[in-house]
Chains A and B, each alone.
Chain A
Amino acid sequence: MGKVLKDVVCSFCGCLCDNLEIAVENGKINPVSRACKVSISRFVNYNKDRVPYPMIREKGGLVKTSLDEAINKAAEILSRANWPLIYGLSSSVCEAHRKCVELAELVGGVIDQTATVCHAPTILAFQEIGEIHATLGEIKNRSDLVIFWGCNPLDAHLNHFVRYSVTPKGLYISKGRKDRTVVAVDVRETRTTRVADIFLRIEPGKDYELLSVLRALINGKEIDLDKVAGVSMEEIRELAEKMVNCRYGVIFFGLGLTMSRGKHYNVMAALSLVRDLNKKTRFVIIPMRGHYNVKGAGVVLGWQTGYPFAVDFSRGYPRYGPGEFSAVNLLANGEVDAALILAADPAANFPVSASKHLARIPTVVIDPKISMTSLIADVVIPSAVSGIEAEGTAYRMDGVPIRLRKIIDPEPGVLADSEVLQLIIDRVKGVR
């Protein structure tokens, strides 16, 4: 058996578990302990479906080329474009994000990140209302009431329950699970709702109503209804009482709230509820961010441009335009004329109208692995897997920055995302 590394950080989901034990032997990686199923698969299969070498499109097909030639072509595409789009980011590290912003500014393009199709409503609501937030350790140490709203961590953030929110013992939670009341609010039964102490099954698209009624109740308003969102007032009153009477409550919410009818209005209702609860007790709210560094993408854009996503540089300075400068809209409306995609797969998960335009315009993909987008790209540049073959910074879903380690060397000649981007930046500067 080769060496066993301790406290390795997993670069898969927004939990960023940093206590994995990983065995490395002969270029193979085997998680030994503490990794969840998904994490094990990520480490074991890190070398599958890799982009084998730099490629450019010639006569309709992708053909092997040199890194230098691929960089040249990428720089040429971005330099020639009137209004290029740089998109993705969330599955790469902050060092690469910084380069992406620099490149977007240099070529006068738009930069957008995957939050645009998941937690953008959360960000818009945050900008409107504010967010009473905590790091996950506060949940572990203090939370006696844990509410999962429109999210299913037992299928999506597998270690969340055991590391942060449900079972761990903490400073003021000496008995772990027994000291907590767990509530799930969802439109259907899930693995998470099944283990909750209370499950409120609500009608689809009625989150806003339920959140608003809860807020009215905790603010002492009378509600003369029998049911809201398919839930009896009795159950709602009981939950409101639990919220007011807990010591340190938390709502975790996911795409069930952000991507259902109402979108940022739903999140605004949730943020307002939690804010008002702080007049009675302590209560916080934490969005369940998906990709391991989608939080970091917003953080980097924030410090470099002032805005978290959908930022345009065509006037030489950053302009913020959710909707106007969001990747899906720009593509679906046919407004951008070239794209660079870093560590994301819009062709696989954007609406067809957006994917079609992406296939039409010259596109550069930087990714360790073959993706749908790489198949329609004009330039594909392989890169090292961050957190396995390259180090860098990632932000956990609660905003805690953690350094990812390099645990194995990439194939010779395969560079980190940030290095590839730096080469493109240098080449673009050279062209001009």
Chain B
Amino acid sequence: MQGERVIIRNGFVYDPINKVNGERMNIYIENGKISEEFKEEGAKVIDATGKVVMPGGVDIHSHIAGKINAARLFRPEDHKGDVVSKTTNTRSGVGYSLPSTFTTGYRYASMGYTTVFEPAVTPLEARHAHEELIDTPIIDSGLMVCLGNNYFTLKYIKEGEVEKLKGFISWLMKAVKGFSVKIVNPGGQETWKWGKNVTSLDDKVIGFDVTPKEIVTNLARVNEELGMPHTIHIHCNNLGSPGNYEITIETMDALRNIKPVKGRKNVVHIAHSQFNSYGGKTWRDFSSGAGEVADYINKHSHVTTCIGQVIFTNTTTITSDGPWQYRLWLLTGNKWTGADVELETSGGIVPYVFRKRNPVNAIQWAVGLELLLLIRDPWRVYLTTDHPNGGPFTLYPQVIGWLMSRKSREELLKKIHKAASTRTQLPGIRREYNLEEIAIITRAGTAKSLGLKSKGHLGVGADADVAIYSFNPEKDSTSDYEKIVSSFSKAAYTLKNGEIVVKDGEIIGSPMGKTFWVECKAPQEQEIMDDLEKTFYNYYTVTLTNFPVQFDYLPLHEPLKTMV
């Protein structure tokens, strides 16, 4: 907060970006930023003795605003067992897999998270996502914009007009106040609008004569040439299907020779790779393909990934992958909602229960952990559950527990279907994460991948977003699963811009978060204005005038510059 000074004293600080690894030290905060050391006089002092201090958590992929609202409305049964009462300083709400907006902000903050990115916004409904962010307190955010099936993407690739595609994305990010380029089932959503799907990188998209490979390579190239802070972010083809590890590797490999923008090595982020690392050919011989995917990532520096870990619980699948959601309806018989958005996306919602005794679900659980444990560089693999697809974000601490405690994994392996032991490598993996690595996969690495200089670290000038956990690395055992889960579920303190927002897991302050967006200025924007006008007039049902999102929807925002 403005003018206020805070000292976080004597905690075990984990700040991997600044190479601080569990050292006992003080953190100084002034005017909402991490500052140089100052005298204690007049400052608020938080005693962090015997506690872990980390930068505030940064979630790279969690469905918190926009499309998720249809799922909230779809599933009253999800909410009734998890209600949140109003207090003197917080709003009421509901939870479980589809928390209301206020509850989303509070629950993230109480876990020590302060920044969360919404990974799938269709441009025409971006205004809606921004509206929800206004009502999502505490956390900062940004919107990833679905472009892998967008009319302009497909048209310009078909016509070989890559410069115009650059102009379009530059214009669109400003128009919808978007943060980065998201690709969901490249080509598959458009094809689903005719009831079909694409299943190989060389399939043709109906109506456009372009392939998924052309979509991802062109978008990656444009993304790097524009200098977007984050790479393209892909939900691969064939998500959820047996044998899909192959197309995941093919997708990564198709992007191997894309030249990254100066300042980073990677050019692609594979989203929720757990859902795209399966072996076998059918549901009967379904197995893990995590070894192959991890091996590829270990050998190639151009890829980052988040996991989409599965947790055994009743949750909701919600994606822009229309044909996959249709298939999931056929598989489960659970209720199904679908939605096609003109010229942009399709998508759907199907409730889903991950069961311990189901062989496929047990393997899925193991695959996520395999990826997290087999990918050696923690800077390139991040913890997510693809909330709510693999499970609600509130259960991240369980994943942290499994990563830190081999014993806890082995105990759970005994209780779940034996396929998790026989068709994955998980039982043989000895690795256990340490706290530094946890800090990397939950905040430092994600902030870096997103290109957020002010987040994910505690260096001077960083936003003073800090999480303090009641875990004493000198006394508490890292194999104590229960202790890990309880410590990371309820932060001892969370600070947002230097303001104490959480104490002992309870919300005590609820400031508004800000929204990051990227202000591109590609000169090619001029070249597409005629196309925009014609296309909006002919094929959209909203005028070009009324399409852009006004600043009224971003009461607190920070435009980022491109890296070129």
B94→A318 contact, CB < 8 A: yes
B135→A98 contact, CB < 8 A: yes
Residue A179 lies at the interface, judged by CB distance under 8 Å to chain B = no
A141→B546 contact, CB < 8 A: no
Residue A138 lies at the interface, judged by CB distance under 8 Å to chain B = yes
Residue A161 lies at the interface, judged by CB distance under 8 Å to chain B = no
Residue B162 lies at the interface, judged by CB distance under 8 Å to chain A = no
Question: Which among A184-192, A232-240, A309-317, A341-349 touches the partner chain?
Answer: A309-317
Task: Determine which residue in A284, A303, A317, A391 has the highest number of CB atoms from chain B within 10 A of its CB, and name it.
Answer: A303
Among B99-127, those with CB < 8 Å from A are 100-102, 124-125, 127
Among A364-405, those with CB < 8 Å from B are 391, 393, 395, 399-403
Residue A76 lies at the interface, judged by CB distance under 8 Å to chain B = no
| B420 smallest CB distance to A (angstroms) | 31
| A304-B337 contact given A171-B539, A318-B83, CB 8 Å threshold | no
Residue B540 lies at the interface, judged by CB distance under 8 Å to chain A = yes
B540→A137 contact, CB < 8 A: yes
Which DSSP category, helix, strand, loop or mixed, fits chain B's interface? mixed
Among A145-175, those with CB < 8 Å from B are 163-164, 169-172
B340→A284 contact, CB < 8 A: yes
Chain B positions within 8 Å of A401 at CB level: 125, 127-128, 131
Q: Indicate the size class of the contact surface on chain A.
A: 35 or more
Nearest CB in chain B to that of A164: its residue: B541
Q: How many A-B residue pairs have CB under 8 A?
A: 184
A141→B342 contact, CB < 8 A: yes
Bitwise, A409-423 to B at CB < 8 A (1) or not (0) is 000000000000000
Among B21-74, those with CB < 8 Å from A are 65, 69-70, 72-74
Among B202-261, those with CB < 8 Å from A are 207
Nearest CB in chain A to that of B129: its residue: A401
Residue B550 lies at the interface, judged by CB distance under 8 Å to chain A = yes
From A140, A141, A393, B131 is in contact (CB under 8 Å) with A393
Question: Which among B84-92, B431-439, B497-505 touches the partner chain?
Answer: B84-92
B545→A6 contact, CB < 8 A: yes
B100→A304 contact, CB < 8 A: yes
B85→A303 contact, CB < 8 A: no
A317→B92 contact, CB < 8 A: yes
Alpha-carbon distance between A36 and B382 when the two chains are bound, in angstroms? 53
Task: Determine which residue in B73, B83, B102 has the highest number of CB atoms from chain A within 10 A of its CB, and name it.
Answer: B73
| A316-B543 contact given A135-B124, A298-B73, A393-B131, CB 8 Å threshold | no
Alpha-carbon distance between A18 and B101 when the two chains are bound, in angstroms? 29
B128→A302 contact, CB < 8 A: no
Nearest CB in chain A to that of B127: its residue: A401
Residue A282 lies at the interface, judged by CB distance under 8 Å to chain B = yes
B131→A317 contact, CB < 8 A: no
Residue A105 lies at the interface, judged by CB distance under 8 Å to chain B = yes
Residue A128 lies at the interface, judged by CB distance under 8 Å to chain B = yes
A132→B337 contact, CB < 8 A: yes
Residue A278 lies at the interface, judged by CB distance under 8 Å to chain B = yes
| B159 smallest CB distance to A (angstroms) | 15
Residue B331 lies at the interface, judged by CB distance under 8 Å to chain A = no
Chain A positions within 8 Å of B339 at CB level: 132-135, 399
Chain B positions within 8 Å of A281 at CB level: 195
From B85, B329, B337, A317 is in contact (CB under 8 Å) with B85
Alpha-carbon distance between A316 and B87 when the two chains are bound, in angstroms? 8
Residue B357 lies at the interface, judged by CB distance under 8 Å to chain A = no
Number of B residues with CB within 8 Å of any CB on chain A: 58
| B506 smallest CB distance to A (angstroms) | 16
Chain A positions within 8 Å of B151 at CB level: 171
B337→A315 contact, CB < 8 A: no
A138→B193 contact, CB < 8 A: yes
Residue A112 lies at the interface, judged by CB distance under 8 Å to chain B = no
Bitwise, B529-564 to A at CB < 8 A (1) or not (0) is 000000000111111011000101000000000000
From B98, B329, B343, B349, A141 is in contact (CB under 8 Å) with B343
Residue A94 lies at the interface, judged by CB distance under 8 Å to chain B = yes
Chain A positions within 8 Å of B80 at CB level: 320
Alpha-carbon distance between A305 and B132 when the two chains are bound, in angstroms? 12
A320→B76 contact, CB < 8 A: yes
From B76, B100, B207, B540, A172 is in contact (CB under 8 Å) with B207
B79→A320 contact, CB < 8 A: yes
Task: Determine which residue in B83, B84, B336, B542 has the highest number of CB atoms from chain A within 10 A of its CB, and name it.
Answer: B542
A303→B101 contact, CB < 8 A: yes
Residue A275 lies at the interface, judged by CB distance under 8 Å to chain B = yes
From A123, A140, A304, B101 is in contact (CB under 8 Å) with A304
A306→B76 contact, CB < 8 A: yes
| A137-B135 contact given A6-B545, A302-B72, CB 8 Å threshold | no
B93→A304 contact, CB < 8 A: yes
| A18-B76 contact given A136-B342, A137-B539, A393-B127, CB 8 Å threshold | no
Alpha-carbon distance between A68 and B85 when the two chains are bound, in angstroms? 31
Residue B75 lies at the interface, judged by CB distance under 8 Å to chain A = yes
Could you list some 9 contacts between A and B, CB below 8 A? A18-B542, A105-B92, A140-B539, A171-B151, A304-B102, A304-B135, A317-B83, A317-B84, A318-B83
What are the 10 A-B residue pairs with the smallest beta carbon separation, nearest first? A137-B342, A306-B94, A7-B545, A130-B337, A316-B85, A134-B340, A317-B83, A137-B541, A306-B79, A401-B127
A residues contacting B by CB (< 8 A) are 6-7, 9, 18-19, 94, 98, 102, 105, 123, 126-138, 140-142, 163-164, 169-172, 247-248, 275, 278, 281-282, 284, 298-299, 302-308, 313, 315-320, 391, 393, 395, 399-403
Beyond contacts A316-B86, A317-B83: 20 other A-B pairs, Cβ-Cβ < 8 A, are A6-B545, A18-B546, A105-B86, A123-B73, A130-B335, A132-B339, A133-B337, A135-B341, A140-B541, A171-B151, A248-B194, A284-B340, A304-B135, A306-B79, A317-B84, A317-B85, A317-B94, A320-B76, A399-B70, A401-B128
